[in-house]
């Protein structure tokens, strides 16, 4: 399985970089994981709704340009479906079984994802109704993908 994590902005915090690198290393035997960062759009603190939409659209264009045409796209969005770790594992297993081995998880910037990217997504996934920093979401996501792979192989870890 080829897993692409597309995200807005550069990760600067060392503890997050180290944590993500550890899980990507652990995922090596299960999947090829690629993390692709696109630049975030510089924006003033107090923006109008139209300016916020423009920021999301510009970041969305950058993300869409990095997606493979045949990728199964999972958009991380607060209004998405909330799954258990076992449901995520089952979904990844089903995708691999039915020939959809190119999966892209997309994490938007601080303002979320563009409407165009959400339309391109095959599904929307939520890790809860709370807002998490998009940088932290990378670590949470890669850990959950690792957990899903362990579940699918019947290996201990997920409890």
| 130 appears as a binding residue in the annotation | yes
| 149 appears as a binding residue in the annotation | no
| 128 appears as a binding residue in the annotation | yes
| Secondary structure, 3-state, the chain | CEEEEEEECCCCCHHHHHHHHHHHHHHCCCCEEEEEEECCCCCCCCCCHHHHHHHHHHHHHHHHHHCCCCCEEEEEEEEEEECCHHHHHHHHHHHHHCCCCEEEEEECECCECCHHHHHHCCEEEECCCCCCCHHHHHHHHHHHHHHHHHHHCCCCCCC
| 125 appears as a binding residue in the annotation | no
| 76 appears as a binding residue in the annotation | yes
| 131 appears as a binding residue in the annotation | yes
| 108 appears as a binding residue in the annotation | yes
Q: Which positions make up the binding site? A: 76, 108, 127-132
Q: Which positions make up the binding site for S-adenosyl-L-methionine? A: 76, 108, 127-132
């Amino acid at each position: 399985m080829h897993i692409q994590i597309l995200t807005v902005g550069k990760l600067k915090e060392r503890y997050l970089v180290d944590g993500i690198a550890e899980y990507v290393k652990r995922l090596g035997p299960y999947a090829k994981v690629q993390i692709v960062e696109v630049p975030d759009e510089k924006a003033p603190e107090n923006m109008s709704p139209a300016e916020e939409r423009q920021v999301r659209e510009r970041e969305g264009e950058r993300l869409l340009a990095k997606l493979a045409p045949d990728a199964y796209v999972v958009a991380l969005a607060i209004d998405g479906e909330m799954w258990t770790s076992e449901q995520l594992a089952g979904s990844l297993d089903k995708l691999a079984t039915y020939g959809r081995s190119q999966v892209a998880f997309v994490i938007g910037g601080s303002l979320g994802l563009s409407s165009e990217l959400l339309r391109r997504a095959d599904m929307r996934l939520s890790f809860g109704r709370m807002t998490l920093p998009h940088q932290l979401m990378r670590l949470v996501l890669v850990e959950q993908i690792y957990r899903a792979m362990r579940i699918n192989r019947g290996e201990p870890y997920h409890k």
